Chains A and B, each alone.
Chain A
Amino acid sequence: MSNDNVESPTEDPTDDDMLLETDVTSGLEEGTQGSRTTHERTIVEAKDVNVWYNQDQALRDITMQVPENKVTAMIGPSGCGKSTFLRCINRMNDMIDAARVEGELYLGEKNVYDDDVDPVALRRRVGMVFQKPNPFPKSIYDNVAYGLNIQDIGGDHDAIVEESLKRAALWDEVKDQLDESGLDLSGGQQQRLCIARAIAPDPEVILMDEPASALDPVATSKIEDLIDELAEDYTVIIVTHNMQQAARISDKTAVFLTGGELVEFGDTKKIFENPDNERVEDYITGKFG
């Protein structure tokens, strides 16, 4: 498939000069059931991002704009590159020697692949929640305060920890055992602890890499509720292979298909009800994937 399809069909091709305030809703009035705001600010913008692992191309010419304070879901069959793209945003791909990234990826108005960007500093502004809950073998308190400590964030740590645990809907369950190891919690609690840990330093964007795939249905639904609430204050970008989950929680959906292509990007409702692309329709209706 050619690169023409990569662009999100719902918006105008991006101009060369950066438009921070992009009116992406203009073209979809009839398709959407009213988003939270009419004017959306773009927080993350990818322009022709290509990723290679040695000789294998994992992502092809990804161009998309992620709106601020929304939940953006990335779906697609396994191996389609959705997690790779997520890891481009906070440059976790730098950890893999074989990975090579080309193109531009803006956070705010700074290309994070510019030479003067420090990936460590970038990750301090972008939180991440992983597929498998991975709390540190430390106390619950120290887990949440980890980001505050390493980033030298001052202020009342006790208050920030409490606030973060409340936002992660975990406070009531753990407020009496803050000194106990984070590993003693159940899987679902561990994942919410990881979310609390990610939001404690108050990042701009939270990346979630299939955060519920290792959890049971009850824990999953708790996480989903939580993501919904987080979107009031944060931009959430979530990778999932569960299409129902994407439909339930996201405002925008990006569909990646095999070969690392972004086939369609738009409002979740439109993607699930009336996708432009035939392959997306096949995927959504379960003909493959």
Chain B
Amino acid sequence: MSTDDLTEDLTRNTANAPPELLTRSFFFLCAVLSIFTTLAIIALLVTEAAKFFSVTAPLMGIEGETASVVEFLTGTEWIIGEGKFGVLALVTSTVMVTLGSAIIALPLGVATAIYLSEYADPQVRSLLKPALEILAGVPTVVYGFFALIYITPALRTVFPSIGTFNLLSASIVVGIMIIPMVASISEDAMSAVPDDLRQAGYGMGATKFEVSTGIVVPAALSGILSSFILALSRAIGETMAVTVAAGAQAKFHNPFNPAAYLDGGSPMTATMVNLLTGDITGGGLAYRSLFAIGLTLFVITFAMNVISELVAQRYREEY
């Protein structure tokens, strides 16, 4: 081949050939779609919620009924018929379910992670991991039904005063639901701990127990922490299980009062579902309150996800 041909060959442009351009732009659009989704969520929640509040509603061209921001954020009563929109009545129930499920899921999840990462032999692991995945794969509405039909009656034998709808059974099922999340992220963090550290421990004459609790867990701490935050965020956003199990009665509870768990409540997510099943369509204060709750929920979970990401980054940097 003459060198002229060679030069011509080398300068032939393939990167901008039509199939390349087409596929590249399609893939790019797909990736950018995620940004649009986020923007759409934020824009929608913010504009609709703005129509709800009396401060911002005139700016959005809304006349008629509106609600006060201060009352929304500090009010403790949520009675739509009386125009009382106090989100704290919902938030406290959400906090209770989150706390209750955390008490179940965090210790069990970390214990599971330690067992899978340090103790289980490969065969046991290959059985347990899919089983845990199934725990997360059962639809949440099914969990809610379990709480309502089986768990609450069982709890009634211990606490006779428990209501048909109660936060305790909701907390239990949400807790079970988020165990796999805590377990799998924590296990990843523990597996990422370099073997050198374990070897060093064993070399010093430590037992497996001492290595697991004294070396692996502290080393994986930021990963475990990040799993906690993610799981809590998941519990906050959990919808169907709490809707079915906890009921629709919005009530302000003291989240740190254990007796309140026997009572029903309406967490934020459940309130949203119940609002919509009550036949409301476009416009109307009740409809717009949906977006105000949605915005609150989104801000809380988004902040938690970001924090968890920041914490997780630390452990990635460490190893």
Direct A–B contact present (CB less than 8 angstroms) = yes
- Does A117 make an interface contact (CB < 8 A)? yes
Q: Which residues of B contact A124 (CB under 8 A)?
A: 9
Q: Which residues of B contact A116 (CB under 8 A)?
A: 11
- CA gap between A121 and B9 in the complex, in Å: 7
Contact in complex: B10, A122 (CB < 8 Å): yes
**Shortest CB–CB separation between residue A128 and chain B, in angstroms?**
16
A110-132 residues with Cβ-Cβ distance < 8 A to B are: 110, 112, 114, 116-118, 120-122, 124-125
- CA gap between A121 and B14 in the complex, in Å: 7
Contact in complex: B7, A118 (CB < 8 Å): no
- Does B207 make an interface contact (CB < 8 A)? no
B1-60 residues with Cβ-Cβ distance < 8 A to A are: 1, 3, 6-7, 9-15
Given the interface contacts A118-B15, A120-B15, does A125 sit within 8 Å of B10 by beta carbon? yes
**Shortest CB–CB separation between residue B210 and chain A, in angstroms?**
40
Q: Which residues of B contact A109 (CB under 8 A)?
A: 3, 6-7
Contact in complex: A118, B14 (CB < 8 Å): yes
Given the interface contacts A125-B6, A204-B6, does A110 sit within 8 Å of B1 by beta carbon? no
Q: Which residues of B contact A121 (CB under 8 A)?
A: 9-14
Q: Which residues of A contact B3 (CB under 8 A)?
A: 20, 108-110
Task: Name the prevailing secondary structure of the A interface residues.
Answer: loop
Q: Which residues of B contact A20 (CB under 8 A)?
A: 3
| Residue of B1, B10, B12, B15 touching A112 (CB-CB under 8 A) | B10
CB-nearest residue of chain A to B14: A120
**Shortest CB–CB separation between residue A42 and chain B, in angstroms?**
11
Q: Which residues of A contact B14 (CB under 8 A)?
A: 118, 120-121
Q: 1/0 contact trace for B232-268 toward A, CB 8 Å?
A: 0000000000000000000000000000000000000
Most buried by B among A107, A112, A118, A204: A118
Q: Which residues of A contact B13 (CB under 8 A)?
A: 118, 121
- CA gap between A114 and B6 in the complex, in Å: 14
Q: Which residues of A contact B10 (CB under 8 A)?
A: 107-108, 110, 112, 117-118, 121-122, 125
Contact in complex: B11, A117 (CB < 8 Å): yes
- CA gap between A250 and B58 in the complex, in Å: 84
Given the interface contacts A110-B6, A125-B6, A204-B6, does A118 sit within 8 Å of B1 by beta carbon? no
Q: Which residues of B contact A120 (CB under 8 A)?
A: 14-15
CB-nearest residue of chain A to B1: A204
- CA gap between A270 and B10 in the complex, in Å: 35
Q: Which residues of A contact B6 (CB under 8 A)?
A: 107-110, 125, 204
- CA gap between A104 and B93 in the complex, in Å: 70
- CA gap between A109 and B13 in the complex, in Å: 18
**Shortest CB–CB separation between residue B105 and chain A, in angstroms?**
40
Q: List 11 A-B contacts (CB under 8 A).
A: A107-B6, A108-B6, A109-B6, A110-B7, A117-B10, A117-B11, A118-B13, A120-B15, A121-B11, A121-B12, A121-B14
> Beyond the given A109-B6, A110-B3, A204-B1, could you list 9 further A-B residue pairs with CB under 8 A, ordered by the A residue number?
A20-B3, A107-B6, A109-B3, A118-B11, A121-B14, A122-B10, A124-B9, A125-B6, A204-B6
